[in-house]
Amino acid sequence: MAKTAVDSFSPKNIALFALLTVGYFLSARLGVRLAFVQPYSTPIWLPAGGAIVAFLIFGYRVWPAVFLGSLLGHLTTIGFVSVSFLVPIGATIEGLAGAYLVNRFAHGVRAFDNAKDVLLFVLFSCVCAPSLNAIAGFGATYFSGRADLMGSAFLVFTWWLAHGIGILLVAPFLILVFRASHHRMNFAEITELSALLLGLFFVCLLVFGPLAPTLNKSGVMRAWLCVPFLLWAAYRFCPLEAAGTTLVLFGSAIWGTVHGIGTFASPDRTRSLVLLDTFVGVIGTTTLVVAALVAERRRYETELLGMHSLLRASISGKERELQEVAQALEMEIAGHSQTKRSLRDSHDRLQLLTETISLKEDSQEVQTRREEQEQ
């Protein structure tokens, strides 16, 4: 135990904790800047995804970094009040609970290898875990007197939605980046991926970007026109590329909605927030599931091809063995035939010899009788 305590304060771990703390703090500040309904109602809360990734990649031991980063972000936003520790505690419990459930039921960082684990990841980390932080947020706002009961209830809903979407967007991409080595793309794949991203970026500019007010005044170009690009990425590439493509699309959608541009922009900011997060949640989950299904099919095809190769090699080996056995049998049969002919020849010679001896004996007997008669 003493050795473990010393290792916890090693320069490497201290640097890791400091990096995670700063990363959580900066992402929290960025999340607050995206708030456009109420001071804490943001369309996406990036630190929630970062906390899940930290616990899944580095283990539960990094919880002090998550707590401290959340505490610093909270204090610099609303100042020190009596409930300042509720939100950091909720953020830490959210990350721990989400990571534990994913490790327990969805194979941890391997959650994106098959569709079932993707759905379990979304359920536990994006739906169940954020509810814990939303409860802490409710306590922080209601008991501090910053909102009444109805306002706090709405804040809990938007809080839960923003945390779930933040986990859905950030966690899959970072987990897929850090978990293991990746497929090295050839020139054709790089060209195809570049064409995909350029096409998606151009459509995002028309739907959510600066080109929308001029080239898309009638609103013909809608957000759903971006979906084929996500399916393209899911079918043709790995889950990592699919998750990265969703970041491009949803980052554009969030930017456009915050600036009042795009499909989800409307005078009612609450409606904009709900529509945007619903779109991100449904399409993001669908893209990850499709990518996992395609990756799973490719993996099965590779395994089947490997088994087929092994079977062909085994069959070829058995064929060679059978040919060798057949040749040996043919040689043995040929040897038996030769032996049989030799035996037949020997039998014929023996029979001829026997007959010759018998004739000689008969002739001698006749000769003896003649001699006796002559005498």
Of the candidates 350, 289, 349, 310, the residue with the CA atom closest to the CA atom of residue 114: 289
CA–CA dist 186, 178 (Å, integer): 21
CB 138 within 8 A of CB 156: yes
**Nearest Cα to Cα of residue 51 among 39, 36, 67, 40:** 67
Q: What is the pLDDT of residue 85?
A: 73
From the list 54, 49, 130, 123, the residue with the least C-alpha distance to 87 is 130
User: What predicted TM-score, i.e. pTM, was given to this entire model?
Assistant: 0.78
Q: What is the spatial distance between Cα 94 and Cα 133, in angstroms, rounded to a whole number? A: 6
pLDDT, residue 2, reads 39
Please report the pLDDT score of residue 99 as a whole number.
95
How far apart are alpha carbons 83 and 136 in whole angstroms? Answer: 9
- CATH code of domain 1-180: 1.10.1760.20
Structure tokens belonging to residue 68: 């401290």
Calculate the CA 145 to chain-centre distance: 44
Q: What is the pLDDT of residue 4?
A: 45
**What pLDDT, on a 0 to 100 scale, did the predictor assign at position 139?**
66
Q: Residue 185 corresponds to which tokens in the numbers above?
A: 């793309």
**pLDDT per residue as tens, the chain (375 positions):** 434 444 556 788 888 889 999 998 888 888 777 665 555 567 788 889 999 999 999 999 999 999 999 888 877 766 665 556 777 888 899 999 999 999 999 999 999 988 999 999 999 999 999 988 877 767 666 666 555 555 566 777 888 888 899 999 899 999 999 876 677 888 898 999 999 999 999 888 888 877 777 766 666 677 888 889 999 999 998 889 999 999 888 888 888 888 888 778 877 777 788 888 888 889 999 999 999 999 888 888 888 888 878 888 888 888 888 888 888 888 888 877 788 888 887 877 888 878 777 777 767 776 777 776 766
The DSSP string of 66-100 is HHHHHHHHHHHHH-S-TTTTHHHHHHHHHHHHHHH
Going from N- to C-terminal start, the domains of the chain cover: 1-180, 185-300
Rounded to the nearest 5 percent, the helix, strand and coil shares of the chain are 80, 0, 20
Residue 101 CA to residue 167 CA, distance in Å, equals 14
What does the pLDDT read at residue 6? 41
Distance separating alpha carbons of residues 84 and 142, to the nearest angstrom:
12
| Long-range residue pairs from 104-107, CB within 8 A, at least 24 positions apart, any chain | none
CB 28 within 8 A of CB 78: no
Distances (CA, A) of 323 to 149, 201, 320, 336: 86, 62, 5, 19
Length of the chain: 375
Nearest residue to 72 (alpha-carbon basis) of 87, 93, 62? 87
Which pLDDT score is estimated for 94?
92
